[in-house]
């Protein structure tokens, strides 16, 4: 496996039902094998952007290129994991993991690949268990193994751990990052949890809302991601929090100042208050 390069190019999307832009003029790149977090407060357009990157929504303007090819539909090159693992409850762990291979016509690989994937997510002892008997965290591990089965080049996650307790969440965050790095997969992670972004991502794209715009790219360079008490961890966390607050401040500015004079984003010359759109 190798990670794909992703280019998000001037993406704007307006949902037909509301007629309001959910995201506006967003451009950035994700390097092969990089882990990128999309952060911002609720409703800023993180899921919309991820769906566009996955080919589940075609944007009103602009587009996304994966390894130079325009994204127009879902593809086996990338997989998306959501908050709910959506496993088949009447199947065993191994059968659920095999589904991705079954659907992509690679049945012959199942016997060798499924044990390997279960080892990767540390569920070897659970192969024959019914998924209903597993904890939430274990179910997300099954979903992760199923996602990795067809050897995707990009793994996209939309707040997949937010329903889990803090300890399970912490373990999965580290494991997913480690697995993606070991396999060389590009990781795109949506979260509003800044600690999660710091633990998992190499960079964080901070979005402001109404409509969602890219405010800042925050690099997260940590030598040791296991030490949550290190000064460099605190520094990364503080820098990200500052960018997050700045993004929220810009939203307030947009509301308070219809002329947008305090709104320095070049991509937002009009910066109308949300109520005027």
Ligand X SMILES: Nc1ncnc2c1ncn2[C@@H]1O[C@H](COP(=O)(O)OP(=O)(O)OP(=O)(O)O)[C@@H](O)[C@H]1O
Interface residues toward Mg ion, by CB under 5 A? 47
Instruction: Return the SS3 of 208.
Output: strand
Q: Report the residue number, 181 or 192, with the smaller CB distance to ligand X.
A: 192
Residue 15 partner contact from ligand X, Mg ion, none using kind-dependent CB cut-offs of 5 to 8 Å:
ligand X
**Shortest Cβ contact with Mg ion: which residue?**
47
Q: What is the DSSP string of 116-133?
A: HHHHHTT-GGGTTSBGGG
Q: How far is the CB of 63 from ligand X (least distance, A)?
A: 18
d(CA 73, CA 262): 39
Q: How far is the CB of 171 from ligand X (least distance, A)?
A: 23
Residue 43 partner contact from Mg ion, ligand X, none using kind-dependent CB cut-offs of 5 to 8 Å:
ligand X
Q: Report the residue number, 47 or 173, with the smaller CB distance to Mg ion.
A: 47
Name residues contacting ligand X, limited to 22-61 (CB under 6 A): 22, 40, 42-48
- What residues contact 89, with CB distance under 8 A and at least 6 apart? 130, 131, 132
- What residues contact 19, with CB distance under 8 A and at least 6 apart? none
Q: How far is the CB of 58 from Mg ion (least distance, A)?
A: 18
Residue with token string 């109520």: 275
Among residues 7, 55, 44, 1, the alpha carbon closest in space to that of 22 is found at 44
Residue 48 partner contact from Mg ion, ligand X, none using kind-dependent CB cut-offs of 5 to 8 Å:
ligand X
Residue 181 C-beta-side C-alpha neighbours within 13 Å: 12
Name residues contacting ligand X, limited to 182-211 (CB under 6 A): 192
What is the binding site for ligand X (CB under 6 A)? 15, 17-18, 22, 40, 42-48, 192
């Amino acid at each position: 496996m190798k990670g794909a390069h992703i280019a998000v190019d001037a993406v704007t999307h307006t949902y037909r039902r509301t007629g309001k832009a959910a995201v506006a003029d967003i451009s950035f790149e994700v390097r092969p094998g990089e882990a990128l977090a999309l952060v911002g407060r609720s409703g800023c357009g993180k899921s919309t952007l991820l769906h566009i990157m996955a080919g589940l929504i075609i944007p009103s303007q602009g587009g996304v290129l994966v390894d130079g090819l325009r994204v127009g539909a879902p593809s086996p090159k990338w997989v998306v994991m959501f908050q709910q693992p959506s496993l088949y409850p009447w199947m065993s762990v191994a059968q659920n993991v095999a589904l991705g291979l079954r659907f992509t016509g690679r049945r012959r690989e199942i016997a060798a690949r499924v044990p390997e994937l279960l080892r990767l997510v540390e569920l070897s002892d659970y192969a024959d268990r019914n998924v209903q008997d597993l904890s939430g965290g274990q179910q997300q591990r099954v979903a992760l193994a199923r996602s990795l089965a067809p050897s995707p080049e990009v793994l996209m996650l939309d707040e997949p751990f937010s329903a889990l307790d803090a300890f399970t969440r912490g373990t999965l965050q580290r494991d997913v990052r480690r697995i993606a790095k070991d396999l060389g997969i590009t990781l795109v992670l949506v979260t509003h949890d800044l600690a999660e972004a710091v633990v998992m991502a190499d960079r964080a794209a901070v979005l402001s809302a109404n409509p969602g715009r890219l405010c800042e790219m925050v690099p997260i360079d940590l030598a040791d991601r296991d030490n949550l008490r290190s000064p460099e961890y605190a520094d990364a966390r503080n820098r990200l929090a500052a960018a997050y607050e700045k993004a929220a401040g810009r939203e307030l500015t947009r509301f308070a100042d219809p002329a947008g004079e305090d709104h320095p984003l070049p991509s937002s010359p009009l910066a109308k208050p949300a109520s005027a759109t």
